[in-house]
Amino acid sequence: MRKAGFTVFLAIVALGLFALNAQVLNAHKWGNWHWDKNTIGMYVWGSHQTQSKAAIKDWDSNTDLKLPLKSKHTDISVFGANSGATGWGGLASIKSYAFDWWHKWCWCKIKHAHAQYNSYYSTSSANVQGIQCQEVGHTFGLGHSNTNGCMAKSYYSPSSNYTNSHNWNDINAMY
């Protein structure tokens, strides 16, 4: 009887681990990009700081990530700047990365990233916040998704400006 109970216990543990891995695999990832921590310093500068801070607060308040604002260049720089007629309203870029030998075996561990709103294109404050929401989401390792929220902005749902529960679940599955 003890052996059968132990077998059932192992089956439940295995099923739980499978469910956790399935949730992580189903997250809308931006390639294999990820951080190796869940406290990520945020430096806000340039134009549209109010909207950038609101986007950060939305992620901070609704996910397992801790996103303290910093007064100097740190993990992620979030800013507005006029980059001219580039064709893009927002841009996320990985500026520094490292090899993740522990579990990904790739050059995909983020060390420093930028989330930029291109102020050349004039738009509403809500749109700026939505753009920054998406760009910040990319710097956490999220890709675009068709599940509304800012990760769908301009690709699947032009009116989605802020995060939603699907975005939060994707982040929480990754971190």
Q: Cβ distance 144 to 39 under 8 Å?
A: no
* β 90-100/106-118 pair status: antiparallel
End-to-end CA distance of the chain: 39
H-helix or E-strand containing 115? strand 106-118
The predicted model gives 92-119 an average pLDDT of 92
Dihedral of alpha carbons 28, 33, 35, 40, sign: negative
Q: Which amino acid is at 57?
A: K
Question: Looking at residue 124, what is its pLDDT?
Answer: 93
Q: Would you say residue 103 has pLDDT above 90?
A: no
Q: Would you say residue 16 has pLDDT above 80?
A: no
**CB neighbour burial string for 14-47, b if at least 16 within 10 angstroms, e if fewer:** eeeeeeeeeeeeebbbbeebbbeeeebbbbbeee
User: What's the pLDDT band for 34 if we cut at 50, 70, 90?
Assistant: very high
Q: Which amino acid is at 39?
A: T
The predicted-structure confidence for 50-61, as pLDDT tens digits, reads as follows 999 999 999 999
Q: Would you say residue 166 has pLDDT above 50?
A: yes
The predicted model gives 92-112 an average pLDDT of 90
Q: Cβ distance 171 to 142 under 8 Å?
A: yes
- Residue recorded with tokens 């998704």: 145
The predicted-structure confidence for 120-142, as pLDDT tens digits, reads as follows 999 999 999 999 999 999 999 99
- Residue recorded with tokens 């738009």: 123
User: What's the pLDDT band for 35 if we cut at 50, 70, 90?
Assistant: very high
The predicted model gives 133-156 an average pLDDT of 90
User: What's the pLDDT band for 5 if we cut at 50, 70, 90?
Assistant: low
Using only C-alpha atoms, the chain has a radius of gyration, in whole angstroms, of: 18
Token code pair at residue 6: 């132990």
Q: Would you say residue 175 has pLDDT above 80?
A: yes
User: What's the pLDDT band for 161 if we cut at 50, 70, 90?
Assistant: confident
User: What's the pLDDT band for 153 if we cut at 50, 70, 90?
Assistant: confident
What domains, with CATH codes, occur in the chain? 2-174 (3.40.390.10)
